[in-house]
Amino acid sequence: MTIVRPDVSVHARVRAAASSLGPSEGRVAAVIMERPDDVVDWSAAELAAAAGTSTATVIRACQSLGFRGFQHLRLELARSAPLAPRDQKDAAGASTFDDAVDALRLAQESVDPERIDATVDALRRARRVVLVGNGFSGPPLQDLAMRLSGLGRPVEAPIDALAQQFAVHSLTSDDLCLALSYSGANVQTLRACAAASERA
């Protein structure tokens, strides 16, 4: 039997956006991820009580997460509920694959083809490329650095934050700084980007 799943689960959307929320809205997102079945049956006030915050914060959190409001969140949670039970022995593995598929679909929805083309063009034209990433964003950039080097592109991917600062301060208008941040809020990465933009 074929089960048709929503394009991207509510859980994947909430996980993707949760890191950008403030503390109060973040608690709302945490409750949504931990107790989705309860949230479907709750009122906004009940979710607020579970998250230790106000009803107004719940509404703002829902909107920050990409929903029109609390009722829209409840509707999407209900729609994304599992359509058929799985055997206990298959549940963990299937859930892992489902999460991976959701993450890929969310990434696909987030891609702007015009920006991808502009990035490729900038990489092609750059005299020198400096890649900046910290924490979990570092390893993917190290891999990209090896691939660009294999294509004959002059590339640097400093791991140390101080080395990143030195690298971006030596950029010229003919060079490119490409940064990757999983959270979008890594302080060291943002500092490197700010320094690089001053060299443009």
Q: Rounded to two decimals, what is the model's pTM?
A: 0.54
Q: Helix or strand or coil: residue 56?
A: helix
The radius of gyration of the chain's CA atoms, rounded to the nearest angstrom, is 21
Domain count, the chain: 2
Do 156 and 99 reside in the same domain of the chain?
A: no
* CATH number of the domain where residue 195 is located: 3.40.50.10490
Same domain membership, residue 180 and residue 120: yes
Rounded Cα–Cα distance for residues 173 and 43 (Å): 54
Q: Are 178 and 132 in contact (CB under 8 A)?
A: yes
Q: 75 and 133, same structural domain? A: no
Sheet with strand 129-133: strands edge to edge: 155-156, 129-133, 176-180
Same domain, 84 and 145: no
Reading phi first (left if > 0) and then psi (alpha if -120 to 50, else beta), residue 135 is in left
Q: How many whole angstroms separate alpha carbon 52 and alpha carbon 47? A: 8
Question: Does 136 reside within a domain?
Answer: yes
Shared domain check, 135 and 180 = yes
Residue written as tokens 């689960």?
9
Instruction: Say yes or no: 139 and 172 in one domain.
Output: yes
119 and 78 in a common domain: no
Residue 164 lies in a domain: yes
Range of the domain at 153: 113-199
**Looking at the structure, do residues 135 and 53 belong to the same domain, yes or no?**
no
What is the CATH classification number for the domain harbouring 40?
1.10.10.10
Q: Can you give the pLDDT of all 200 residues of the chain as single tens digits? A: 333 334 457 888 888 888 889 999 999 999 999 998 899 889 999 999 999 999 999 999 998 888 888 988 988 888 876 655 555 556 566 667 777 776 677 667 677 889 889 999 999 999 999 999 998 889 999 999 999 999 999 999 999 999 999 999 999 999 999 999 877 778 999 999 999 999 86
